[in-house]
Amino acid sequence: MGKNYILALDQGTTSSRAIIYDHAGKIRAMAQKEFRQIFPKPGFVEHDPMEIYSSQISVAAEVLAQMEIHDNAIAAIGITNQRETTIVWNRKTGKPVYNAIVWQDRRTSAYCDQLKKEGLQSLIAGKTGLEIDAYFSATKIRWILDNVPGARKTAEKGELAFGTVDSWLIWNLSNGKAHLTDISNASRTMLFNIHSMKWDEDLIRLFDIPASMLPGVKANSTYFADTSGLIFSSKIPISGVAGDQQAALFGQMCVHKGMMKNTYGTGCFIMLNTGNKAVRSKNRMLTTIAWQLCGETTYALEGSVFVGGAVVQWLRDGLQFIKTAQSSEKLALSVEDTGGIIFVPAFTGLGAPHWKQDARGMIYGITRGTTRAHITRAALEAIAYQSYDVIKAMQQDAGFTVENLRVDGGAAANNFLMQMQADVLHTNVQRPVVLESTSLGAAYFAGLAVGFWQDVKEIESQWKVEKEFVPTQSPEAIEKSIEAWHEAVRRVLQ
């Protein structure tokens, strides 16, 4: 029987998914399972590591069953995961010493403020490419060592292991044989030097973390470990690992310098491939490792829009203007323009490039003639404008402009929004046939390592655009609209 498939494990923040891809990069089966979000106190967000693992295994079994194939038909496994989420476990027992502290968790923000006050931002950003923030793993590991009784002592004896979710899955899938992570996940821990490609001794000392806890770091598309006989009946190589945004960039085949993707989910996540150069941002974007392939490191700039598809959710659930997110498109197109409405959805403050945490949302220009269609249209336009602002700032940092934008995520299905994005950026917007860029990227990494695909060129030639949006408005007309948007943003910032 041929090894005709790649199994991608996509371990996300709210659910675990498994997807089987064939040689053409087509989805053959998919399963998803949600798991518990644990909120022990305000600002605390945790997951049960055992549940992360069991949900992941159960969806893997489900896709094999759906296809009625034996696991020896799987050539390799690729893993992609929620980044930064921190798990510490005992090497002997394999048991976590505490719940997984999720990337969203803010319990260490006071400690982060203190580090900023001590003037460590520039040192840390220089080494890691990251802004000091509670998101990243380092302060979460320290919290566990300082707060879980006995943890520090056991760690100092070399008995505890730290891992992001990828490491935790690899450890369990290999039945405790491999304690590894990949370079993209490592680059989100705030402990990894993205220039020397090593755990940084100064940072390990600063955060007071025993070096013995840290996993070995590997490139993205290489052999990590075999699955143990406990889970699958055949040994399957795990040979592709990457954090979710990096995997999405690869899944979109943004493999050359200057290529960019935007994922339109609850928020928007934008990544720009900056080639072999780690660009330091002047706009507080993050510099991160995209991947390492064939010994070459590719870097990326990363920026996000806090409120993307969430504004559509608010129109649906908060204002009850629409029944479904999809119907926002039809409603927006039922009017010729926004009738002068500009909507700045700064529900949780404004991010890049404005950075004002206490900013709040505004709907500007309401008249007696304003309808829900105008407001809905303005909300969708705001997603495009906010993405534009991040992308412009990134281009400024990188010193070049992008030729097109590749898109995915739930709201990328909205044709009005995608056309607007093409117009505002004055750039073509490409929506691929397979919108599951994240798991596809993990599958590609895994498949490349085992010769399932020969090289990146082969994959590039099979990656297909479903629809391309070409700018239709004149740059002058769009310039005017962008000015009006910025005028509204200025009012919000006041």
Q: Binding residues for ligand ADP, per CB under 6 A? A: 265-266, 309-310, 312-313, 325-326, 328-329, 409-411, 413-414
SS3 (DSSP) at 467: strand
Between 214 and 383, name the residue whose CB sits nearer to ligand ADP: 383
> What Å distances lie between residue 305 and 12, 158, 264, 386, 390, CA to CA?
19, 40, 9, 6, 8
State which residue, 19 or 191, has the beta carbon closest to ligand ADP: 19
Q: Which is nearer to ligand ADP, 13 or 220 (CB)?
A: 13
- Name the residue nearer to ligand ADP (CB basis): 11 or 414: 414
Distance from C-alpha of 178 to C-alpha of 30, rounded to nearest angstrom: 27
Q: How far is the CB of 466 from ligand ADP (least distance, A)?
A: 14
Residue of this chain nearest to ligand ADP (CB atom): 410
Strands, sheet with 237-243, edge to edge from the N-terminal-most edge strand? 27-34, 15-21, 5-11, 74-81, 237-243, 221-226
Q: Least distance to ligand ADP from the beta carbon of 106, Å?
A: 19
The nearer residue to ligand ADP, 145 or 312, going by C-beta atoms, is 312
Tell the smallest beta-carbon distance from residue 126 to ligand ADP (Å). 31
Nearer to ligand ADP, 163 or 308 (CB): 308
The CA-based dihedral angle spanning residues 415, 418, 423, 429, taken in that order and rounded to the nearest 10 degrees: -120
Closest CB 84 distance from ligand ADP, rounded Å: 16
Cα dihedral 407/245/21/412 (nearest 10) = -20
Q: How far is the CB of 8 from ligand ADP (least distance, A)?
A: 16
Beta-carbon contacts of 13 under 8 Å, excluding residues fewer than 6 positions away, are: 82, 85, 102, 103, 104
Amino acid at position 222, single letter: T
| Minimum CB distance to ligand ADP, residue 185 (Å) | 19
Contacts of 113 (CB under 8 A, 6+ apart): none
Smallest gap from Cβ 417 to ligand ADP, in A, equals 6
CA 183 to chain centre: 15
Q: For residues 326 and 428, which CB has a smaller minimum distance to ligand ADP in the complex?
A: 326
* SS3 assignment, position 436: coil
CB-nearer residue toward ligand ADP: 56 or 437: 437
Shortest distance (Å) from residue 174 CB to ligand ADP: 28
CB of 314 to ligand ADP, least distance (A): 9
Q: Where are the beta strands (DSSP E) in 316-423?
A: 342-344, 362-364, 404-408
C-alpha closest to that of 192 among 240, 141, 158, 226: 141
DSSP 8-state code for residue 356? B
Residues 6+ positions from 407 with CB-CB distance below 8 Å = 261, 262, 263, 264, 418, 421, 429, 430, 431
Q: Which is nearer to ligand ADP, 178 or 341 (CB)?
A: 341
Q: What are phi and psi of 219, to 5 degrees?
A: -65, 175
**Identity of the residue, 17 or 127, whose beta carbon is nearer to ligand ADP in the bound complex:** 17
Structure tokens at 430: 């490409």
Q: How far apart are alpha carbons 414 and 412 in whole angstroms? A: 5
Eight-class DSSP state of 206? H
Q: Give least dist CB 264 to ligand ADP, A.
A: 6
